[in-house]
Structure 1
Amino acid sequence: MSTTPNISNFALGQWQPHEGEGIAQYNAVTGQLISTVGSQGLDYAAMAQYAREVGNRNLRKMTFHQRGRMLKKLALHLYGMRKKYYPLSYQTGATKVDSWIDIDGGIGTLFAYASLRKKFQDQPYFVDGETAPLSKEGTFVGQHIMVPRRGVAIHINAFNFPIWGMLEKLAVNLLAGMPAIVKPAEQTSYLTQAMVQDIVASGILPEGALQLVCGSGVGILDSVTSQDVVTFTGSASTGRMLKSLPQIVEQAVPFNMEADSLNCSVLGLNALPGTPEFDLFIKEVRKEMTVKAGQKCTAIRRILVPRQQMDAVQEALSQQLAKTVVGDPQLEGVRMGALASKEQVAEVRKQVGLLAEENELVFGQMTDFEVMGASAETGAFLAPMLMRSADGFKASRVHELEAFGPASTLIPYDNTEEAAALARMGKGSLVASIVTADDQEAREFVMEAASHHGRILILNRDSAKESTGHGSPMPLLSHGGPGRAGGGEEMGGMRGVKHYLQRTALQGSPTTLSNVTQTYQYGGRYIEDQVHPFRKHFEELQVGETWITHKHTVSETDITNFANVSGDNFYAHMDATSLEGTIFEQRVAHGYFVLAKAAGLFVEPRKGPVLLNYGLEECRFVKPVYPGMTIGVRLTVKEKVAQEKREPEDIAKGIVKFLVDVYDETGESVAIATILTMVKMLDQNGID
């Protein structure tokens, strides 16, 4: 009877051991059997329906802010126990640094998206963009909203980042209000499963929000519907095959693909040996060749170097690579661990062999290298390998074949235009970088290469200290690329969240759309009250509630006094003789005077629930105000956002956005702004 652990799947709200023999998972360092994994016995159609009916309903009824706070709670929970995952990560071949990128980096993405909740309304949906006027009298308008899709996100992830690969996608779909079925790669799914066990046990996510398939997942996409979303990270060939499945095509299922690509890094023409940029380039290339043993979708595969610097770069890079100690990642001094599996070693050797038919291997070798504290025969080890191309325009394989490991190729170029052309020959990649102190050179490269890359890092001495590097996707920036890289985008801040939302254009009267969206639409009916809104607590205020102020007639003295106070003596305000040829008929009041006077008209001076003015979101001066014109203000509650209490003793409060509509004696608006006020709540328990 076998005593090998059976890695369970999490489906339909419970842990389910796989049926049958399963797939063996091996320690990448020692070659020892860890466990078996499989997906036999899982009912994928039932899992997807459970996610749609239970998980989606539970998440969809939460607001963006509630979902964001849920992510924050989960991130804090996982951060507190993050060290327990490191021993398992070492078994994948990852060093401590590699593991930090995967584990702490993944948890950091949860924190980033938890904070992003503040960019969305405190509603289950997102009111997207400005109101579109659709009629002459303003009684018929349009407004886009975005609502969570009523399906499940199915994430098919690669083997190289078992934690980050899961969390960087989960953070986004959970904030958007969609549940997920996560399918990590079989080789390293034991690490993903360990974290999912802790997520499930925490009870932080609502029922149905997360399911896990640790085995092969064959058939997992057979029952997808048009409301589902599929994301894929892995090889371009596998991604294209999945994207063309009949169910994906027939149901028009959104399919976000992030494929491994032939990323490049460019040494600038003036980044000569002895300059900080030359040293930065060597350090960055070495790092990208050896971190995660080169098993990164963003790793540098093509090293583009000015022709006259090829020998210098080869020598400097070879010296640095020679210092890279390969071995057991838990040992002191080891800089590069193992690949994820011996199958990966065989695949990299095959690709390097093909590349070596057109390029010279100038450093490293595929066999007979030293391994510290382990065996190259039993573990999945490779040493760093550097190749050199004589002509990147004639050697085609370097732009077509990827060795997904610690291997890269030097390619010469003669000018920036050539460097960009070589970069484009990769037919689309996730990231390119250029190391240069010449901003004009950087601009030229970006303009010529950006069409073929999802991200471009410009590295020099100014940014080096804080730069996250060539290979680090950031939560608030898009991660993806065109062509070979898959044509998709992940993360990207709000952009990524919108991938899981359906955009719908609403049409109707401003009043109706205000009530539907719970965000006041300009021109909507006012709700008037005898009590000033600044005398009301957060809960007592209604969207659309409006205070009509007293009026003030603007004088030349107002303009002169404001100029004296502000120091703004712009000619249009102060010199009536200089107005010929301008749009102004006479001296015009300062826009900021109009806004300041508006505040004087609408502010209730007595102490009350309003704690402070929190800021100004937008402001437009739409019509000149001349001496003799009379202005008033319509102050309308536009939107309300409850805030959580950071400490138990904090005052329970929320942010109220007021539309400030300053109008003249004809009733036309002269200035429109949105101000934010912090308002005390009646219920001092607030949001925990």
Structure 2
Amino acid sequence: MTTAPEAPTKETATAIVPSYVRDAWWTPENPGRGAEVRDASTGELLAVVNSDGIDLAGMVEHARTVGQAELGKFTIHERALKLKELAQFLRGHREELYELSFKSGATKIDNMVDIDGGIGVLFTFGSKGRRELPNSNVIVDGPMEVLSKDGSFAGEHIYTRIPGVAAQINAFNFPVWGMLEKFAPAFVAGVPTIVKPATPTGYVTEAMVRLMVDSGILPAGSIQLISGSARTLLDELDYRDMVSFTGSAATANLLKSHPNVVHGGVRFTSETDSLNAAILGPDAVPGTPEFDAFVKSVVTEMTVKAGQKCTAIRRSIVPAELVDDVVAAIGARVTERVVVGDPRAEGVTMGALASLEQLKDVRGAVESLVEAGGKIAFGSLDAPEVVTASGEKAVVTDGAFMSPVVLTWEDVEAPALHGTEAFGPVSSVVGFSSLEEAIRLAAMGSGSLVASVCTNDPEAAKTLVTGIAAHHGRVLMLNREDAKTSTGHGSPVPHLVHGGPGRAGGGEELGGIRSVKHHMQRTAIQGSPNMLTAVTGVWHTGADRHLADPADPSTHPFRKSLAELRVGDAMRSELRQITREDIAKFAAETGDTFYAHMDDEAARAAGVFPGIVAHGYLLVSWAAGLFVSPEPGPVLLNYGLDNLRFLQPVPAGDSIRVTLTAKQITPRVTDEYGEVRWDAVLTNQDDELIANYDVLTLVEKEWPKKA
């Protein structure tokens, strides 16, 4: 290997954009001409991209061996904590990334979406991974299924990480966010990543990867980078690996037809072309907050990233009588607020497209739409006058600048309207005569990432959303109540699924913990409760318990810190009898005088009670009294109950006891305590099941505390 140069700068304007291979920077020994990358605003040559001779097989093998081994040394919580640490580090380097990203045509707002948004994804998964997943490497999926009469044989599902590599192939429009939104869930799952960014903006991705590596936070083999072509990457992958693709449908279909995907079992998920729609409700006439919010959303999606967003609004579907009003309002807002030019110039709100090639493609797409029946109602395909870096206004032929364009259509069902995407600052305004027609027009996009429904009429919202939901991965409902707080039509958030059916690729990304599980295999495991407990680290009903000695208070599980407590440690209380006086007193003190606790005749008449019965919450309250160890100790507090179920009534005269078992122990990496989930079972004097639930507590890691 050879040592790579630093990221491209003015002084090294023709540098080779390096790759990161097997934990070392690499450039080809004979780079040749390579692909030229130019400043989107000025046409200045920035760098050359060439991956000739890169060892793709070695990269995959390194990920499967070193990457898997090093990531496997950490638990899910520990990896999530590293993401938080990485996000904090990267946040301190935002400005240098901004400066580099300006060269791609991105404005400051665009960079906030891409760079800050990407770092924000790391923060989100750093938090959700620790709050919603176990501090282990096995995730239990659903309850145990008893498979034998005596309970000695059972089954359940678990998630474990896939044993290969997560290869991501990304588009040019989000060189940072596009990489980090895939890297974060893979890292939490414990799967190493190989990144293949798009050539026009890959130098920005390289700068981010360099910072990630230089942070010293990531384990060896966690991330590798291919700067340039990776045509044979899929040749090196098999069923252990997964590919996450973002780009054109044509390229996705080509990759999906690879033998290793079709026959070799490579997991393939894609996010592709999407003719997203925004629907304006009939009630949202000019002058309403909904009309204003709709117009603002359309203009935002046309101009952020110069419309180069997979989530941009390509079809504005509005009541037919409002087409002219919407076009006029869009045009007025663009004229008033949009300044096209070099992102480094003061006041510029929309930068250049990513390259001259991209500009040619978008203009060509608009021309084909016009030939198919579209009419340019606002804007032009002529080279616009723009603000240059010096602050002057000029027509710049070396820059990839384009004015926002709005199209209208007489034939609202024209195939090109619903099938041709101009991936730039372009949107069509389409009229509908009924909600049913609006739904049909939205569906003609053949599957989209996102749609917006802008109305303040709940019935219209219900009709539209339920009508289009199955055609979209996400639907934003926009009205006067959330117009100011909404994250926006085109902003995927890490908490919710990003993806869509049909033309949009049929895949899912993000979605919180769902996206972590995308990088894991769900497996059904079967065995005895003891064996299920051993594999999962979670106690299962029927597994061995280690009962405390009632005569020795020190053996009570509440007297044990996390250093001593083990899954299966348990206690079984004495019986406590319930009297009518107990029930009446609880009713009087709580105000819960429901007839089943007060009136024998009415209770029996209901057909489900044997007469007056104890309150369910009386039973739970008494159970706490039966299982707690009251003196100060390692158990800090009870912070909730889960899955509480009352299974049969308890009449006066019956007795109850509680069996409490340590079910799951989750130490917190950053705190001196952890969470313990206890299995609580209430039974009567005949050992019949009365109620069960989980008790959640916080417990000290050591007790007594060290001074």
Q: CA deviation at 1:645?
A: 3.3
Write the distance in 2 (CA, Å) between the matches of 1:666 and 1:513.
Answer: 29
**Is the 2:77–2:669 Cα contact (8 Å) retained in structure 1?**
no
1:364-443 alignment runs, 5 A limit: 364-373=379-388, 375-393=395-413, 395-443=414-462
Aligned positions, number: 680
Q: Structure 1 counterpart of 2:244, which letter?
A: T
SS at 1:418 equivalent: helix
- Comparing 366-375 with 13-22, greater Cα deviation is found at 366-375
Quote the Cα distance in structure 2 between the aligned partners of 1:345 and 1:683: 66
For 2:466, the equivalent position in structure 1 comes to 447
Structure-2 separation of matches of 1:668 and 1:11 = 62
Give the corresponding residue for 1:606. 631
CA drift at 1:70: 1.1
Deviations 1:262-292 (A, max 9, x none): 0000111100111100111110100000000
The one-letter code matched in structure 2 to 1:497 is V
- Separation of aligned partners in 2, 1:509 and 1:554: 36
Quote the Cα distance in structure 1 between the aligned partners of 2:487 and 2:416.
Answer: 30
Distance 1:507 1:565 in 2: 48
Q: Determine helix, strand or coil for the equivalent of 1:137.
A: coil
Letter in 1 for 2:497: S
Deviation at 1:309?
0.9
* Contact 1:355–1:401 (8 Å) recurs in 2: yes
Within a 5 Å distance, the mapping from 1:473-552 to structure 2 comes to: 473-530=492-549, 531-552=555-576
Aligned: 1:60 with 2:92? no
1:221-245 C-alpha deviation (Å, 9 max, x unpaired): 1110101010000011101110110
Indicate which of 68, 73, 79 corresponds to 2:85: 73
Structure 2 distance, partners of 1:340, 1:92, is 6
User: Structure 1 residues 341, 685: closer, same or farther in 2, change over 3 A?
Assistant: farther
Q: Bigger shift: 464-473 or 245-254?
A: 245-254
Distance 1:293 1:684, change over 3 A: farther
**1: distance between equivalents of 2:72 and 2:240?**
13
1:391/1:412 contact within 8 Å kept = no
Measure, in 1, the Cα distance between the counterparts of 2:146 and 2:256: 39
Does residue 111 (structure 1) correspond to residue 131 (structure 2)? The answer is no
Query: 2:301 corresponds to which letter in structure 1?
Result: E
Determine if contact 1:387/1:408 at 8 Å carries over to the other structure.
yes
Question: Is there any run of 5+ residues in structure 2 with no aligned partner, and where?
Answer: 1-11, 390-394, 550-554
1:619 has 2:638 as partner: no
1:338 aligns with 2:348: no
Measure how far apart 1:376 and its partner are.
Answer: 3.0
Task: Report the counterpart of residue 601 of structure 2 in structure 1.
Answer: 577
Match of 2:254 in 1: 241
- Asked if 2 retains the 8 angstrom alpha-carbon contact of 1:11 and 1:212, the reply is yes
- Is 1:658 aligned to 2:669, yes or no? no
Name the CA distance, whole Å, in 2 between partners of 1:368 and 1:166. 32
Alignment check: 8 A CA contact 2:13 2:46 kept:
no
Partner in structure 2 of residue 20 of structure 1: 31
Q: What's the CA shift for 1:618?
A: 2.4
Alignment correspondent of 2:5: none
2:186 aligns to what?
173
Amino acid at match of 1:260: D
The one-letter amino acid of 1:582's match is G
Q: Is the 8 A contact 2:497 2:509 kept in 1?
A: yes
2:667 pairs, out of 631, 636, 642, with: 642
User: Per the alignment, in what secondary structure is the counterpart of residue 432 of structure 1?
Assistant: strand
Match of 2:8 in 1: none
The partner residue of 1:226 within 239, 243, 252 is 239
CA distance in 2, matches of 1:105, 1:574: 58
Aligned counterpart in structure 2 of residue 157 of structure 1, from 164, 170, 193: 170
Q: Matched residue of 1:196: which SS? A: helix
What are the superposed Cα offsets for residues 468-496 of structure 1, whole Å, 9 maximum, x if unpaired? 01000010100000000000000101111
Does residue 200 (structure 1) correspond to residue 202 (structure 2)? The answer is no
Mapping of residues 659-678 of structure 1, within 5 Å: 659-678=679-698
In 2, distance between residues paired with 1:93 and 1:460?
A: 32
Question: Which string of whole-angstrom CA distances, capped at 9 and with x for unpartnered residues, describes residues 392-442 of structure 1?
Answer: 12x110100000000110100011111110000000000000110011111
Aligned equivalent of 2:160, options 147, 150, 154: 147
Counterpart in 2 of 1:349? 363
Is this contact kept in 2: 1:256–1:489, CA < 8 A? yes
Specify whether residues 482 and 3 from structure 1 end up closer, same or farther in structure 2 by C-alpha distance, changes over 3 A only.
closer
2:243 and 2:657 map into 1 onto residues whose CA distance is 53
TM-score, reference length from structure 1: 0.97
Task: Name the counterpart of 2:318.
Answer: 305
Q: Deviations over 1:498-527 (max 9, x none)?
A: 111111111111122112211011121211
Name the residue aligned to 2:4: none
Deviation of residue 257 (structure 1)? 0.4
Q: Distance in 1 between matches of 2:396 and 2:587?
A: 78
The counterpart of 2:329, out of the listed 297, 308, 316, is 316
Tell me the residue number matched to 1:589.
614
Task: Give the AA of the match of 1:603.
Answer: V
Q: CA deviation at 1:685?
A: 10
User: Which residue of 2 is the match for residue 649 of structure 1?
Assistant: none
For 1:377, the aligned partner's letter is T
Contact 2:242 2:268 in 1 (8 A): yes
Say if 1:61 and 1:124, in contact at 8 Å, map to a contact too: no
Amino acid at match of 2:692: I
Partner Cα separation in structure 2 for residue 662 and residue 58 of structure 1: 44
Root mean square deviation, CA, Å: 1.5
Counterpart of 2:7?
none
> Does structure 1 conserve the Cα–Cα contact (< 8 Å) formed by 2:561 and 2:703?
no
| CA distance, structure 2, for counterparts of residue 348 and residue 365 of structure 1 | 12
Amino acid at match of 1:361: I
Equivalent-residue separation in structure 1 for 2:300 and 2:452 (angstroms): 14
Partner of 2:20: 10
Q: Is the 8 A contact 1:30 1:379 kept in 2?
A: yes
Tell me the residue number matched to 2:95: 83
- Choose the corresponding residue for 1:268, options 270, 274, 281: 281
| Contact 1:431 1:455 survives alignment (8 Å) | yes
Residues 639-687 of structure 1: CA distance to partner in whole angstroms, max 9, x if unpaired? 11111336xxxxx11111111111112212211111111111228999x
Give the partner amino acid of 1:381.
F
How far has the Cα of 1:595 moved from its partner?
0.8
2:274 and 2:310 in contact (8 A); partners too: yes
Q: Secondary structure at the match of 1:479?
A: strand
Q: Name the CA distance, whole Å, in 2 between partners of 1:433 and 1:373.
A: 35
Structure 1 equivalent of residue 151 of structure 2 = 138
CA contact (8 A) 1:514 1:544 kept: no
User: Residue 86 of structure 2 aligns to a residue in which SS?
Assistant: helix
SS of equivalent to 1:29: coil
Which amino acid letter does the alignment assign opposite residue 578 of structure 1? A
Distance 2:606 2:572 in 1: 37
Alignment partners' CA distance in 1, 2:331 and 2:545: 73
Query: Normalising by structure 2, what TM-score?
Result: 0.94
Distance in 2 of aligned mates of 1:243 and 1:44: 19
- Cα deviation for residue 252 of structure 1 reads 1.4
Letter matched to residue 560 of structure 1: A
1:582–1:84 distance in 2 versus 1, CA, 3 Å:
farther
Query: Which segment is superposed worse, 565-574 or 478-487?
Result: 565-574
| Contact 1:363 1:385 (C-alpha < 8 Å) held by counterparts | yes
Q: Distance in 2 between matches of 1:92 and 1:468?
A: 24
CA contact (8 A) 2:141 2:159 kept: yes
Q: Which 4+ stretches in 1 moved above 6 angstroms?
A: 683-686
